[in-house]
Amino acid sequence: MTYDLLLKNVKAFTTSGPFEGDIAIKDGKISKIGGDIQEQADKTIDLSGKYLVPGLIDGHTHMEFPFMGEVTADDFYYGSRAAIAGGVTTIVDFVTPAKGQDLLSAYEKWSNNADPKVVSDYGLHMIIREVNTKILEQIPEVINKGVVSFKLFMAYKNELMLPDGELYKLIKRISDFGGVTGIHAENGEIINELIQEFLSEGKIDPIYHYYSRPDIMEIEATNRIASIASMIGKDVKMYIVHTSTGEAVDIISSYRRQGFKFFNETAPHYLTLNTDFLKRPDGYRYVMSPPLRSDEQRTKLWIRLASGDIFTIGSDHCVYSDAQKKRYKEEVPPFNEIPNGVPGTENILPILFYYGVKKGIISMERFVEVTSYNPARLFGLYPRKGTIMPGSDADFAVIDPNRKVRISADVLHSNINYTIYDGMEVEGWNVMTIRRGEVVYEEGQVIGKKGSGKYIPGKTPILL
């Protein structure tokens, strides 16, 4: 047979260790993995000196996300191009129903919006912001559409926050149909009080975003939701999204040791940046929730990433332009009016590779686990995605382990003119992305076509 693509001299990394050899691809799938494949192929790529990993799965993006009165600046085209440039071959984006909208029509809207634009493949999660009979009824129906993971909010009072009773009801219902519940764990009631206190004292600078959301707000909410979910039972599959404190990770790990299927995600910015960034003149760019923490917390997160206590890395890609962040004014607005969110999908790979692997904190196996294998299992995409096996989609990121890059907006692909990692120097960079057997990114250029990405419906989450 003639293969479509043959990758020669591959050094590939999976969760079970590295292997060296060749990979042959046919019809978008991995067809054969071997020592020295001699059969014909339409196209051959020599990957000597590079590292091959499964295409990253960014399980946390907000493209065209309506939030805090703005819609995020990366639509599915810009956002998924940025993903592809960063070696992310699948994003899992949050369907965000409008107030009063039912889940199925929100799902339809989200996929109709994404399909003509996506360059990466994509899956979907469902945000639930209110509870009524119709929404409860539709939970199994959206799961049937392949939306097997959900997100509920314990913060953002008056916008997305749900009270404990509704959180309980929803986790139970989602769990009854085999879905996974993602939780934004921060105590929104108390945060709202703290925000009002600071504002009444005239304390409006971006750093008060951090002071109004102290570590304990995340720790308390994580503890509370873990208690509530544990009461429902051991079938509940839950993960805390964008965890920013070591203590919140430890709470979840302690439940896991008791047999609960509870997990944590963290994001690249919590591993690399600290609260000092909020004090800079451009501190408004660094407003996200939970907020950036201390260096001590950063260290705790790295340790827990290395130990396997942190299950996935998602970018929480939620991009606002400078103008949006400043609400179209000259002056920086009060901290509570700055739309929450930062870009990140393109930076998962270089940050984890340089600060994690190159600095000797995590292995390549762990890198693969948290960037593709675990998200694929959590979101029901495994084994189609998240591994290098015959029959799996031929999705790969090709890392040049020695490439030195100074990060700036110029080398990135989001629809904004800044990056929160400006000036950061890393060693190790994605130089080629292959999505279902097609080279969609090479040497700085996204060549994948608009709309060529596919919706990948989630199946049953596989969690040990």
Give the footprint of Zn ion on this chain (CB under 5 A).
4, 42, 184, 316
Q: Is 184 in the site for ligand URP (CB under 6 A)?
A: yes
Nearest CB to Zn ion, comparing residues 152 and 446: 152
Q: Which does 377 bind (CB under 5 to 8 A by kind): Zn ion, ligand URP, none?
A: none
Query: Which residue's Cβ lies closest to Zn ion?
Result: 184
Q: Which does 340 bind (CB under 5 to 8 A by kind): Zn ion, ligand URP, none?
A: ligand URP
Q: Which does 42 bind (CB under 5 to 8 A by kind): Zn ion, ligand URP, none?
A: Zn ion
Nearest CB to Zn ion, comparing residues 185 and 207: 185
Task: Please select the residue that binds ligand URP; options are 6, 23, 41, 62, rule is CB under 6 A.
Answer: 62
Nearest CB to ligand URP, comparing residues 184 and 435: 184
As beta bridge partners, residue 238 has 181, 262
| Encoded tokens for 229 | 């979910």
Smallest distance from ligand URP to CB 291, Å: 9
Q: Which does 413 bind (CB under 5 to 8 A by kind): ligand URP, Zn ion, none?
A: none
Task: Please select the residue that binds ligand URP; options are 340, 347, 374, 433, rule is CB under 6 A.
Answer: 340
SS (H, E, C) 204-218: CCCHHHHHCCCHHHH
| Encoded tokens for 128 | 């639930």
Nearest CB to Zn ion, comparing residues 58 and 395: 58
Q: Is 15 in the site for ligand URP (CB under 6 A)?
A: no
**How many helices and strands, by DSSP H and E, does the chain display?**
14, 19
Nearest CB to ligand URP, comparing residues 96 and 374: 96
Alpha helices in 258-405 (DSSP H): 268-272, 295-307, 322-325, 348-351, 364-368, 374-378
Residue 45: count of CB within 10 angstroms of its CB: 18
Smallest distance from Zn ion to CB 61, Å: 8
Please list every residue from 263 through 292 that binds ligand URP, using CB under 6 A: 288-289
Nearest CB to ligand URP, comparing residues 68 and 361: 68
Smallest distance from ligand URP to CB 48, Å: 40
Q: Is 314 in the site for ligand URP (CB under 6 A)?
A: no
| Encoded tokens for 460 | 């049953």
Indicate the length of the chain as a whole number.
464
C-beta separation of 72 from 341 below 8 A: yes
Could you tell me which residues come within 8 angstroms of residue 302 by beta carbon, excluding any fewer than 6 positions away? 271, 355, 356, 361
Q: Is 90 in the site for ligand URP (CB under 6 A)?
A: no
| Encoded tokens for 106 | 């929100």
- How many residues bind ligand URP (CB under 6 A)? The answer is 9
As beta bridge partners, residue 281 has none
Could you tell me which residues come within 8 angstroms of residue 351 by beta carbon, excluding any fewer than 6 positions away? 268, 271, 272, 421, 426
Q: Is 250 helix (H, G, I), strand (E, B) or coil?
A: helix
Q: Is 318 in the site for ligand URP (CB under 6 A)?
A: yes
Task: For residues 225 and 215, give the distance between their C-alpha atoms in angstroms, rounded to a whole number.
Answer: 16
Q: Which residues bind ligand URP (CB under 6 A)?
A: 62, 184, 242, 288-289, 316, 318, 340-341
